[in-house]
Amino acid sequence: MTETAKPATEENLLSMRREDFEALLDRAAQRGAERCLAQLGLEQAHAERDLRELRDLLHAWRDVRRTARQTLVRVATAGLLAALVLGAAIKFKGLGA
């Protein structure tokens, strides 16, 4: 133990009612959340709007990824079908000549 830390004895323990302790914890949690938001640049005045915009941006990003994936699959499918048609046309042209 350090010099300033004392073992837990009755004379250095704080006694308080459960309701007071819970209120103290609530205030501490609120202050901590406010400090965290302030450090992130999400002060109370604009936090709701900023978080909504961040959620919208994340939703848009997910839409872009999904659309890009769908487009890639469609292009690959169209390329494969075009190659099959081209191959069939070359084969049939070669048989007919």
Total domains, the chain: 1
8 falls within a domain: no
- HSE toward the beta carbon, residue 87, CA cutoff 13 A: 6
Helices (H) and strands (E) in the chain, counts: 2, 0
3 falls within a domain: no
2 falls within a domain: no
Mean pLDDT by 10 residues, the chain (97 residues): 64 84 96 87 77 94 98 98 92 74
Predicted confidence at residue 1, as pLDDT, reads 47
Cα 3 from chain centroid?
44
Range of the domain at 42: 13-96
